[in-house]
A and B are shown apart, each in its own frame.
Chain A
């Protein structure tokens, strides 16, 4: 996401939105609280200090992102391999969090999660890169950036001017603002209200 914002700033894009949808996930025993994987992509580069970045809404705490958009090569086998790697006591696999020996296994990347849920018959479609399972496994968050083809052009400058002086709006809070501002405000809102650090 930090990279996306940089990209849009470089191209003077603004007025984009974060489309954020919350979907209740099937409640089947066996996945709740077991399935958790840490954020690595959502967190911006500059707070890269090993903290888990978590999406926190009252609707369901926590969320995740992980890389691992893979192709579909050898799903079953790959899954068993990862599973056995994880259950081996001496091996600590990066896919699993084995911090305490008795801790429930946690799935830490999207592809393993997909394989796990597909195998259990809980889902029929894979999670795609816009879908994130909440840390309690009860919700799916759908997250994407949309409507990003607006440049900071004469029209938008006029809108800014008009809103500021004729409608007397707070010039910093309206949506028609200079891309730097827009980006900073967007980032701020997301990191304070949507992607909450635990």
Chain B
């Protein structure tokens, strides 16, 4: 790859996403700070550290305010279709607990498969990350929702439903 490689970035539905950003205090300045390539180079190489089960690739912005992850064409299509409702939902329900998605981008580059990226809020902003006691990912399902409590399980490891119930019951 040479330096003059053309990279096309398409920004999807900027108006809807601008509205979601504004509603959540995400200004252009915040984005520029958090996403500045200067600080994020290293983050990209650390990518996938907590890779979700969906197998998507993701990484945190250097200040951990944002998560960037890949998304399939199917998910993109679906999401764009529901976007008007999605934006309205946050307008009407400011206290919504859904992790905000602030933008969706498609990146095309010669010689490389097209990728869709999603920019979303990182909802785990710890005031003091050494004080984390437990993290759970809960679905309400009980099949395969147990993480083995081996000695190398840390406080910051994500546990699941069955672990939650066990800990609660103990």
> A10 and B85: CB pair below 8 A?
yes
Chain A: how many interface residues by the 8 Å CB criterion? 60
A147 to B164, CA, bound (A): 19
Interfacial residues, chain B to chain A (CB-CB below 8 A): 25, 52, 54, 71, 74-75, 78-79, 82, 85-86, 89, 92-99, 123-128, 131-145, 161, 164-165, 167-168, 170
The 3 closest A-B pairs by CB, nearest first: A189-B140, A144-B123, A41-B95
> B128 and A26: CB pair below 8 A?
yes
A190 to B138, CA, bound (A): 9
A57 to B82, CA, bound (A): 35
> A149 and B133: CB pair below 8 A?
no
- Taking A19-B135, A149-B78, A190-B138 as given, write out 5 further A-B residue pairs in contact, using a Cβ cutoff of 8 Å, ordered by the A residue number: A11-B82, A19-B99, A65-B95, A69-B94, A145-B97
Inter-chain contacts of A1 with B (CB < 8 A): 97
> A3 at the A/B interface (Cβ < 8 Å)?
yes
Interfacial residues, chain A to chain B (CB-CB below 8 A): 1, 3-4, 7, 10-11, 15-26, 41, 57-59, 65, 67, 69, 71, 123, 125, 128-131, 139-140, 142-151, 153, 163, 169-170, 173-175, 182, 185-190, 193-194
CB of A50, distance to nearest CB on chain B (Å): 18
With beta carbons under 8 angstroms apart, the residue of B54, B124, B134, B141 that contacts A173 is B141
Closest to B123 in A: A144
